[in-house]
Amino acid sequence: FDHWKQRSRIVSQGSRMGRERPSSNGTELKREDGKVELGKKVTLLRGISIIIGTIIGAGIFISPKGILKHSGSVGVSLLVWIACGVLSLFGALSYAELGTCMKKSGGHYTYIMEAFGPQMAFIRLWADLIAIRPAGMAVISLAFGQYILEPLFMPCGIPPLAVKLATAIGLTSVMYLNSMSVTWTARIQIFLTVSKLLAIAIIIVPGMYQLFKGETRHFENAFDLSNVQLSGMPLAFYSGMYAYAGWFYLNFVTEEVDNPARTVPLAICISMAIVTSCYVLTNVAYYTVMSAEELLASSAVAVTFAERLLGNFSIAVPVFVALSCYGTMNGCVFALSRMFYVASREGQLPEVLSMIHVRRHTPLAAVLIMYPMTMLQLLVGDIYSLLNFMSFLRWLFIGVVVLGLIYLRYTKPDLPRPFKVPLFFPVVFCITCFFMVFLSLYSDPVNTGIGFAISLTGIPAYYIFIYFNHRPKWLQRTLVICSVVVKFT
């Protein structure tokens, strides 16, 4: 047992003698004191593709009507889209400061660990691991399976079994890609990001053409406030902020970013400017063809738009939606695996998850850990209910992270900060996050309470698996055996 434990520790550190040489996929193995480390392969372009590719999912193509429904008018809805983009930029710049002063991967987990200690960080990690991330991946994977098959079955309905089969194939291919090569993962992410921007351009360009032709009847009385209710505005902002979520994923891979002090802030600023412009202009394009009432009645806005304006080309829209979903899946797996990798390195997850494949240079075990849990959610879980339970936790912990930035400004004023944002940005964004948390508690106390209770199970888990030094012998042996099995497979 001690022999195999020592062997697994050696593999997890990646200790090898001799000179450095390139791996089979062309990635040089970076070493410090004999340890294999993830290489700095995320350039500015790849960083932009990670952010844009994970923010823009299926929502902007399918049903951007939550904001219109709660804002009450076309003009106010466009203002909400812009305001949510600006607020998201405040949060993204706050994360950029954290990413440049703490050059460690892991995102939320790393920053909460630094500001508030290991117990709070583990609770966040626990909620991510057992529920939030598998459910989120399952939902976006199901959207991929649905839309990749739609052109084959139109106008008939798609059998649920076929959707699940396509979903499983898509999810497996994403996991395989991320396990095999960082370089190819990044290249395909760039391709998918360009594809979804092309899809948005196919909507924006004809829409702007219609606008310049004088199709402005749906913008008449755009700021009519007769249907606007102040009670609905918080819900409109909630929908908008959810649409922009994903700007934080580059911080999950900070250690792999080339020149992070420059690349992280620049990638965030460029990405948020592109996403905000795309969202606003896409909604403007929709309104050149559809009235507010027609948009609210449509179940897939982009498809309705294409059918009215592009004719037979509308059959390509579901394919673009599927590619958009696949890009989100790929970016999420790439980023989230680094959080599990860092948590293992910190001793809060099994040691096997901090192992790096010595030839492919990928955190293989950390990538694959989400696969069985996500497949389980696809087969037996009530995914959408679980997302309702957990949606408020996302904003709660993001608010805690940004609050940690403000806290570190006063507790560690000498911490190097190559990029520093005005304090106004994190304060406004922190208030916004906690407002959305309280809104969730008010609007849906039952589901929110259940989600909060699930996250609190992380407290006993922390004391059982982390806090006590003398873990049960059976647990130690199980973890070591898993490490050995992964090493020899």
Strand partners for 37 = 30
Q: Predicted confidence band at 438 (pLDDT cuts at 50, 70, 90)?
A: confident
The stretch 148-157 carries a mean pLDDT of 81
- What pLDDT was estimated at residue 87? 92
> Is residue 19 a part of any domain in this protein?
no
pLDDT of residue 11 exceeding 60, the answer is: no
- What pLDDT was estimated at residue 482? 60
Task: Name the packing angle between helices 383-411 and 370-380 (round to 10°).
Answer: 140
> What share of the chain has pLDDT > 90, as a percent?
18
pLDDT of residue 34 exceeding 90, the answer is: no
pLDDT of residue 388 exceeding 90, the answer is: no
The stretch 406-412 carries a mean pLDDT of 90
Q: Mean pLDDT highest for which of 56-70, 149-163, 318-332? A: 318-332
Is 123 within 8 Å of 459 (Cβ atoms)?
A: yes
Of 16-25, 84-93, 142-151, 318-327, the range with the lowest mean pLDDT is 16-25
Which residues, at least 6 apart from 252, have a Cβ–Cβ distance to it below 8 Å? Answer: 105, 106, 107, 335, 336, 338, 339
Q: Predicted confidence band at 345 (pLDDT cuts at 50, 70, 90)?
A: confident
DSSP secondary-structure letter at 58?
A: S
The stretch 306-315 carries a mean pLDDT of 79
The stretch 411-439 carries a mean pLDDT of 89
Is 167 within 8 Å of 142 (Cβ atoms)?
A: yes
Residue 323's nearest CA partner among 61, 85, 51 is: 61
CA–CA gap between residue 285 and residue 290 (Å, rounded): 9
Give the C-alpha distances (Å, rounded to integers) separating 439 from 79, 101, 132.
20, 32, 19
- What pLDDT was estimated at residue 82? 93
> Is residue 400 a part of any domain in this protein?
yes
The stretch 14-43 carries a mean pLDDT of 50
Q: Predicted confidence band at 28 (pLDDT cuts at 50, 70, 90)?
A: very low
Q: Mean pLDDT highest for which of 60-74, 269-283, 356-370? A: 269-283
Tens digit of each residue's pLDDT (9 = 90 or more) over 59-88 = 787 667 778 888 878 888 899 999 999 999
> Is residue 10 a part of any domain in this protein?
no
pLDDT of residue 21 exceeding 80, the answer is: no
Tens digit of each residue's pLDDT (9 = 90 or more) over 168-199 = 999 999 999 998 888 888 889 899 989 889 88
Q: State CA 252 to chain mean position distance.
A: 10
CA–CA gap between residue 186 and residue 47 (Å, rounded): 9
Q: Which has more pLDDT, 81 or 451?
A: 81
> Is residue 140 a part of any domain in this protein?
yes
Domain residue limits at 443: 39-488
Is 483 within 8 Å of 7 (Cβ atoms)?
A: no
Of 245-259, 379-393, 472-486, the range with the lowest mean pLDDT is 472-486
For residue 61 the two structure tokens come to: 């193509």
pLDDT of residue 20 exceeding 50, the answer is: no
Is 91 within 8 Å of 429 (Cβ atoms)?
A: yes
> Looking at the whole model, is its pTM more than 0.85?
no
The stretch 246-269 carries a mean pLDDT of 88
Q: Predicted confidence band at 35 (pLDDT cuts at 50, 70, 90)?
A: low
For residue 101 the two structure tokens come to: 């002063």
- What pLDDT was estimated at residue 13? 44
The stretch 114-141 carries a mean pLDDT of 86
Residue type, position 469, single letter? N
CA–CA gap between residue 310 and residue 306 (Å, rounded): 5
DSSP secondary-structure letter at 227?
A: G
> Is residue 409 a part of any domain in this protein?
yes
> Is residue 108 a part of any domain in this protein?
yes
CA–CA gap between residue 289 and residue 306 (Å, rounded): 10
Tens digit of each residue's pLDDT (9 = 90 or more) over 462-489 = 887 776 654 555 555 665 566 555 555 5
> Is residue 232 a part of any domain in this protein?
yes
The stretch 410-439 carries a mean pLDDT of 89
Domains in the chain, number: 1
> What share of the chain has pLDDT > 70, as a percent?
84
Tens digit of each residue's pLDDT (9 = 90 or more) over 111-127 = 999 988 888 899 888 88
> Is residue 14 a part of any domain in this protein?
no
Query: 89: domain CATH number?
Result: 1.20.1740.10
Is 117 within 8 Å of 262 (Cβ atoms)?
A: no
